[in-house]
Structure 1
Amino acid sequence: MIPDFQTLMRPVLALLADGAVRRSRDVKDAMAEEFDLTEAERAELLPSGRQRTIDNRIGWSLTYLSQAGLVARPSRGHVVITDDGRAALRANPTRIDMKTLEAYPAYLDFRDRTREKAAATAVTTGDDRREATPSDLVEQALSTNRAAVEGEVLQAALALSPTGFEDLVIRLLERMGYGKAGSVERTSASGDAGVDGIISQDPLGLDRIYVQAKRYAEDRTIDRPRIHEFAGALLGKQGDRGVFITTSRFSNGAVQEAERINARIELIDGRRLAELLVAYGVGVQSDQTVTLYRLDEDFFDGL
C-alpha cells in the first residue's frame, strides 16, 4: 500500500540523516524500496495521469519538511537534512507528521499563509472538509501549493548573490509591466550610491522610479534609518518615487518613515516579494492544470 505523505515524513528524514546531499529522485526511489511497493504501486499515477502517486506524496513530504526547516534545498532537485532535522529525528523516534511540525515557527508561518489564502477565497477547511464541494477542495489545494511555492521561491532568492538578487528584482519589475515604454536597468554595478535600479517609464527617461533591492535574512528588520537614507538618495536625484524591495521585513518605524516623507516610497517585504514572484511567474513554472466539469442544463433542456 502506498503510504500517505505524513507517514513518509520520518522515513524520508531518516534517509537523509547521514547528511549527504541527495537528489529528490533518489529519495523517491529509496522510499519505494523501503515500503516494498509492488511494481503496480510504483507505477500508479494520479488521476491527472501526469505524475506517479508515490512521487507526489514524497514531494509533499519534502515540501512540508522544508517549510518547517528540517530539510534544505541546496540546489535544484537536491535535498539535505538540517540541524533541526537531526534534532527532530532524535525527539520523535516513531513518527513525524503535521502535528509534530507545529513546534517549528517556520512551519507555523507557512500554515498561517496557507490559511490566509484559503480565507481570502472562503475555502472550507478543517472539520468542515466533509461538507466541502470539489471546487472548495481544489481551492484549498491551490492555497496550500501557493503558500509552499512562495516559501521556496523566497529561499531561492535568499541564496542568490547580492547582484543576482538585484537582477531578480529587475526581472520581476519588467514582468509586472514597468518600463514597458522606457527601460528597467540595474545601476548598482556602476556605483550609483543608494540606488540599485532605475525604471524609466518613458523613452526619454523623464518619468523615473528608483529601486533599492536588499537581500537580507528573513529575520532581519529594516528600520527607519535605511528608509531615510533611501529618501536622501531620491532627493539627490531629484526623484519623488521609489520602491524598496527586500527579502526581510520592515519595522513599524520604517513604514511610518516611508509615509512621512514627501517622496512616495513603496515598501515590499519578503512575504510580498514571494507573492509577486509567483503571481507574475518569475522563477516558477506551471506544474499541472485541473479542470472541473458541471452539468450543462441548458444543453439538455434544448434537446
Structure 2
Amino acid sequence: MAIPDYQKLMLPLLKFFEDESEHHIREANEVLADDFQLTEEERAQLLPSGKQRIFNNRVNWANTYLKKAGLLESKRRGYSNITERGQDILKQNPQMITRNFLMQFESFTEFQQPSSSRQEAKNERNRSSTLGNDNQSQTPYELMDQTNQILKDDLAEQLLKTIKECSPEFFEGLVVQLLVKMGYGGSLKDAGQAVGKSGDGGIDGIIKEDQLGLDVIYLQAKRWEAVIGRPEIQKFAGALQGRRAKKGVFITTSSFTSEAKEYVNFIDNNIILLNGQELSHLMIDYNLGVSTKETIKIKEIDSDYFMED
C-alpha cells in the first residue's frame, strides 16, 4: 500500500501511546509501519533531499502536531507519552485526527498562527476548512523538498536553453569545466589540453580519469537538437575500440533513443550516456553556471550543548 500521509498517522500514533507509558518515537515508527503493512522498499523510501525516510518524517510530524495540540507530551528528547487531553480524545472515538481537527485547541492554533489573535486564528481555521486544506498530505519538510525540486527543475530547463544558445567553443569549455569540477581531468589546464576540437558543435577527445592520469576516458559531446540514436553510439563504441579505450562518456544537449540506451548495456565498453537534462542538473549540483540566490537554514536542538559533566 502507499505510504500514509501524516494526517492518517495521527490517530494510530495517539492510540499507540494509549497505554500511558513513555515510548521512543523509533518504536512508534516500527509499530506503525507494521500496522500499515509497509514493504521494506516503502519503509526505506527517502525524501527528495535523500536525508530522511519519508515514513519516519511523517510519523515525526504527526508526533509534533499532537504535542502542539496537547494530546501528547515529551519529558525528554525523543520520547513521548499521552496526556489527559489525549485520553479524552480517544474516549470520543474519532474516525480520524486531522490538522483541521486539532484547530479546536488553542495551543495548536497559536502554533499554526503564532502572530495572530485568537479570533484571527478562528477565521483562518474557517478559511482552511472552506479551501479544503484539511486534505494536505505533506509534511513541511516534504513541501520544502518538493518546492526545492520544482525550482531546481525550472533552473535546469533555463540552463539547458541557455547552453543551446551558446557558441560551440563555449560549449566545449563548459563540458571540460564540469568534468574537472566532478574530479576528472586533473587541472583545468590539463583537461583543456586533453580535449581536441571536432568542429561539429561538440567536442571529442581524451580526458584523464584522475589527477595522476592512471586511466583515460574518451569523450564525445554533441550540441544537438535531434535525438541521438543507436548509429551514433555505435560509431562512438567503434572509436573507443580503435583507440583501445574501455571507458567513454557521450554527452548531448538533446536525448537518446531507447535503442541507444539498450545498446550500451550489451557491449564490452563502459559507455555512459548523459542527456541534456542530466547535464544541466549536474551543472547545478556542481555549481557551474549558477549562483546561490538565497540560503535557508533549518536549525535543531544541539543535544551536545546541554550535556552536563
Normalised by the size of structure 1, how large is the TM-score? 0.51
Which residue number in structure 2 is paired with residue 171 of structure 1?
A: 177
Question: 1:138 corresponds to which residue?
Answer: 144
Q: Say yes or no: does 1:255 pair with 2:261.
A: yes
Letter in 2 for 1:209: I
Give yes or no for contact 1:117–1:143 (8 Å, CA) kept in 2.
Answer: no
Contact kept in structure 1, 2:172 and 2:203, CA below 8 Å: no
Distance 1:275 1:184 in 2: 21
Is 1:184 aligned with 2:184? no
> Which residue of structure 2 lines up, in the alignment, with residue 3 of structure 1?
none
Are positions 1:215 and 2:200 aligned together? no
Q: Residue 256 and residue 297 in structure 1: after superposition, are their counterparts in 2 closer, same or farther (change >3 A)? A: closer
Shift of 1:247: 1.0
User: In the TM superposition, what whole-angstrom CA distance separates every residue of 1:123-158 from its partner, at most 9, and x where no partner exists?
Assistant: 99x967745443333222211211111111111111
Query: Identity across aligned pairs (percent)?
Result: 38
Determine if the alignment matches structure 1 residue 147 to structure 2 residue 156. no
Count of matched residue pairs: 184
The SS at the match of 1:222 is coil
Contact 2:181 2:286 in 1 (8 A): yes
* 1:199 and 2:207 matched: yes
> What is the distance in 2 between the residues matched to 1:285 and 1:214?
26
Contact 2:186/2:213 (8 A) holds in 1:
no
Distance 1:273 1:154 in 2: 8
- Compared CA separation, residues 232 and 296, structure 1 to 2 (3 A): closer
Confirm or deny: 8 A CA contact 2:157 2:280 kept in the other structure.
Answer: yes
Structure 1's 131 and 177: CA in aligned 2 closer, same or farther, altered over 3 A?
A: same
Q: Which amino acid aligns with 2:249?
A: V
SS of residue paired to 1:292: coil
> 1:176–1:190: structure 2 CA closer, same or farther, 3 Å change rule?
same
The separation in 1 between residues aligned to 2:49 and 2:305, in whole angstroms, is 34
Amino acid at match of 1:207: D
Between structure 1 and structure 2, the one with the greater Rg is 2
Listed as ranges, the gaps of 5+ residues in structure 1 are 1-115
- Cα distance change, pair 233–301 in 1 and its aligned pair in 2 (3 A): closer
Output the TM-score relative to the length of structure 2. Answer: 0.50
Between the aligned partners of 1:276 and 1:132, the Cα distance in structure 2 is: 27
Look up the match of 1:289.
295
Please list, as runs of the form range in 1=range in 2, the aligned pairs for 1:211-290 lying within 5 A after superposition.
211-217=219-225, 220-290=226-296
Q: Is the 8 A contact 1:195 1:233 kept in 2?
A: no
- For 1:128 and 1:143, how far apart are their aligned partners in 2? 24
User: 2:47, 2:142 within 8 Å by CA — same for their partners in 1?
Assistant: no
Query: 1:277: Cα distance to partner?
Result: 0.9
- 1:283 CA drift (Å): 0.7
Report the CA distance between 1:237 and its aligned residue: 1.4
The structural deviation recorded for 1:231 is 1.1
Q: Which runs of 5+ in 2 are unaligned?
A: 1-45, 59-131
Residues 198 and 204 in structure 2, CA contact (< 8 A), matched pair in contact too: no
* Alpha carbons 1:187, 1:196 under 8 Å: kept: yes
C-alpha RMSD of the superposition: 3.6
- Check whether the contact 2:176–2:191 (CA below 8 A) recurs between aligned residues: yes
Contact 1:221-1:248 within 8 A present in 2 as well: yes
CA distance in 1 between partners of 2:304 and 2:198 (Å)? 64
Match of 1:184, as an amino acid?
A: A
